[in-house]
Amino acid sequence: MGTLKNKRFLLVITAVVYLCLFYFFYVKYVPLVKPFQLFLLPVLLTVLVLTVIRLEKGLIFFVFIFPLINGLPYFFGIYEQAPHAPTALLVFLFFFLGCLIHMCFSPSLSLTRPPISTPMIIFAVILALSSLISFFRYSNFFPFLVDSIYELTVNVNGVSAGGAVMSTLFSALNYISGFVFFFIIYNILRNSDILEKILRALLASTFLTLLFGLLQFYKDISLGNTPFWVRMEQINSTFKDPNSFGIFLAAFFPLLLAIVLTSKGLTRLLALLSSALVLFVLPKTGTRSALLGILLSILIFGFFLLRHFKIKKIVPFKKKTALLVIPILIAVILFVGYFGLKQSRVIDRIEAYAKGAKGGMSIFSFSPERFFLWKEAISMMKDYPVAGVGVGAYIIELPNYYTKNLGDYDAGLEGFRRNDSAENYFLHIGAEVGLIGLGLVLWLFFMIFRHMYSVGRSIERKESRLIYFGAVAGIFAYIFTLLFHSYVGSPEVKYTFWLLAAIALSPMIKKTGLKKDPRTPKTIKIGSIILIVLFGSVFLWNSTHSLSLKRRYKELNLNRNFGLGKTEQTEDGRIFRWTREYGGLPIKVTHPFIQIPMLASHPDIENNPVIVEIYIIKDFFKEKFLLGKIVMTQEEWQTYEFDISNEINQDVILLIEVSRTWNPLKVLGTPDPRNLGVAIGSIRFHSKD
């Protein structure tokens, strides 16, 4: 009894801490746009309530909704605002909160470690450690070096520290939430016979995504899509982008075939119709890797059937029915596949690249941008082979590497300078978490295939074997597409993979009893600790030296302004810029005195003064001293003068910190959503007469 009380206490503390962290995450990274929230919140609360009531119900709803929710922000123009948390990730975070609350009321719930847990846990620790150190790096080691997190520029494209921290956080959550989802579904499948319900839920959501894809293709391609993909004439349906939609269809297609062969009635009819729609819709995504992936999955699924069964044993129903269903299925694949490919975007892309290649087969001729992305990923691995550049940092460091390696390329490089992932999962992992992370991923995949083989040999039920074959074929298709895409911003793709992995590894897929939790050998535990310490030490050293912001500023001459808005001009010709709660401006001190024109426009300034502190920052925040403190009580321009004779001929940063900001949209209703501090006019230096 005491053990259960202690377990419940720890679960309650964990749930409370998680809820607090999630609240700040939601406020920070989820657009609080009312129409968007009116659609989103009911979904989030539904998955939360269902999970609290019963884990199985919450899981089924989550499996149903995560393929349908990803494009929701596009209907409200949110893609035009600052980057935000992926919607599928938000749904999972609510699902996980529901799991924690449910377990608080059921602390005796039996949980077991999956057989692939050792590399997964080690990799999760590496990801968390890399994320933590990356946060300190981009925040200039707040609170150890600086007393506030400033929006310092971190790359030549002008990305700020906040954007870099967000990239790190989203990438880490993308990976780790996939691991947690696998752990949850593996345990639910282990303790409950709900696999058929899960497959029906996924079948239903897939059918809806396919219908919406048809609506995009025939009615309006801009519906729930972004301008970039509209210009490319590629449909994304309800997914983040066409690539994510394509791999989802390719990976789930073999399971659709398995459902056709194992189900009855309306379920079989819906699965057969969905299979046909997949073959018709997938080419409209324009995704070449997904097209090759689905062909691979069909071949692997067919090989499994031919290799392990005779025709009379393929399905759990009568031979006459089998002889009728299978030819129809083959005919549907051939017929619909032909018309799906005909005049599709993917064929247009293949033909265009074939003409561009002019007979030469190379990655550059087939995909010029991918060539540069791969090349820079390899460069990062060479520079930081042990620990990489940090989780979520490839997309941040890419412009910096383009700039450093500009001499290695021709003028055509200028067309490929936008931020992107490495477009190869394994190179992306190697670039971000080094050879240690890449080795752990390869170990994880090895363990997945090893245990899939073990499960496959012990399956007794024919229906389970077909479902198993569908999941395994989908996993092969998924891993194949990882050679051409990273999916770092598509958690829905990660959840698809881990759902397939949980099905393929589930103890309930084979009715041979449950094994005890796998034990990790002592040597592996010791080796893991050494590996983690090595990774953390190397990455921390790199982050305080060659990867540090100070070194980046010196090497790349990054913009040293931070916390300042765009240049504006008053009617009388005065040039100025607004600060937020702070603003930093690099200056070269040429004379002993500095004059700083400032304006505070807070409507209540007479009754509530604005306090401004002005600092001099030297040696990239190593030294900071107060230049002056000002109390502003009037809404008019005033010029303040300070003696800086000790800094003559030095390059320093002028840091202005404001006690409070105000928002014109919230206070006055004017169309200006900025949080304004004070306006800074043109700074002048002079000598005393």
> For 594-625, what is each residue's pLDDT tens digit?
999 999 999 999 999 999 999 999 988 888 89
Q: CA–CA separation, 169 vs 162, rounded Å?
A: 10
Q: Does a cis peptide bond (omega within 30 degrees of 0) precede residue 143? A: yes
Quick one: which of 187, 184, 96, 171 has its CA closest to 126?
A: 171
What is the C-alpha to C-alpha distance for residues 376 and 381, in angstroms, rounded to an integer? 9
* pLDDT score at 335: 56
* pLDDT at position 84: 81
CA distance 685 to 136: 35
Please report, to the nearest 10 degrees, the dihedral formed by the alpha carbons of residues 276, 278, 281, 283 taken in order.
-110
Question: What integer pLDDT is reported at residue 327 of this predicted model?
Answer: 63
Supply the pLDDT for residue 317.
47
Where would I find the beta strands (DSSP E) of 619-678? 623-632, 638-643, 651-658
Looking at residue 412, what is its pLDDT?
45
Say what the pLDDT of residue 309 is. 60
Q: What is the CA radius of gyration of the chain?
A: 28
The two tokens of residue 677 are 């501090």
Q: Specify the pLDDT at position 336.
A: 54
Q: Tens digits of per-residue pLDDT, 274-326?
A: 988 998 898 888 888 888 898 888 889 888 877 766 544 544 445 555 555 56
- 3-state secondary structure (DSSP) of residue 598: strand
The whole-angstrom separation of Cα 289 and Cα 287 is: 6
Task: Match 């540069």 to its residue by tokens.
Answer: 372
Domain range summary for the chain, segments of one domain joined by + = 1-109, 562-686
653 close to 575: Cβ distance less than 8 angstroms: no
| Pairwise CA distance, residues 519 & 529, whole Å | 16
Q: What is the pLDDT of residue 6?
A: 78
- DSSP output for 283-302: GGGT-HHHHHHHHHHHHHHH
The CATH code of the domain at 562-686 is 2.60.120.200
Q: Which residues of the chain have pLDDT under 70?
A: 1-2, 79-82, 107-109, 308-367, 406-419, 460, 507-519, 689
Distance from C-alpha of 241 to C-alpha of 286, rounded to nearest angstrom = 11
